[in-house]
Amino acid sequence: MNGVLPDSEIRSLIANGAISAQPPITDAQIQPASLDLRLGNRAWRLRASFLPGSDNRVQDRLSDFEMHQMDLSNGAVLEKGCVYLVPLAERLSLPKGLSAVANAKSSTGRLDLLTRLITDNGTEFDRLPDGYDGPLYAEICPRSFSVLVRPGMRLNQLRLRSGHAVLDDDELRHLHAASPLVEGHALIDQGLGFSVDLRPEQGELVGYRAKPHSGVVDLDRIGAYDPRDFWDALHSSDGRLILDPGAFYILVSRESVAIPADYAAEMAPYLAMVGEFRVHYAGFFDPGFGIGATGAGARGVLEVRCHEAPFALEHGQVVGRLVYERMAQRPERLYGQEIASNYQGQGLKLAKQFSAYGD
Q: Which of 8-17, 236-245, 288-297 has the lowest mean pLDDT?
A: 288-297
Asked whether residue 107 falls in the same domain as residue 155, the answer is yes
- Is residue 157 domain-shared with residue 206, that is, in the same domain? no
Question: Over the chain, what is the mean pLDDT?
Answer: 90
Looking at the chain, the whole-number percentage of residues with pLDDT higher than 70 is: 91
Cα–Cα distance for residue pair 19/17, rounded to 1 Å:
5
Calculate the CA 158 to chain-centre distance. Answer: 10
**Per-residue pLDDT for 277 more than 80?**
no
In sequence order, what are the beta bridge partners of 251? 302
Q: Same domain, yes or no, for 262 and 322?
A: yes
Number of structural domains the chain divides into: 2
Asked whether residue 187 falls in the same domain as residue 266, the answer is yes
- Please tell me the predicted confidence (pLDDT) of residue 172: 96
Instruction: Put the strands of the sheet holding 231-235 in their side by side order.
Output: 231-235, 205-210, 248-257, 298-306, 277-279
**Which residues constitute the domain of residue 226?**
169-326
> How do strand 192-195 and strand 113-119 relate by DSSP bridges?
unpaired
CATH number, position 47: 2.70.40.10
Domain end: 135, 162, 189, which one? 162
Q: Mean pLDDT across the stretch 71-98?
A: 97
3-state SS class at 174: helix
Q: Is residue 65 part of a domain?
A: yes
Q: Lowest-confidence range among 5-14, 94-103, 328-337?
A: 328-337
pLDDT grade, residue 272 (50/70/90)? Answer: low
d(CA 161, CA 5): 6
pLDDT tens profile 254-263: 999 999 999 9
Lowest mean pLDDT across 132-146, 169-183, 300-314, 320-334: 300-314
pLDDT for 218 beyond 80: yes
Q: Quickly list H helices, 55-185.
A: 58-65, 106-110, 169-178
Last residue of a domain, one of 137, 162, 187: 162
Mean pLDDT of 1-11: 94
pLDDT at position 269 over 70: no
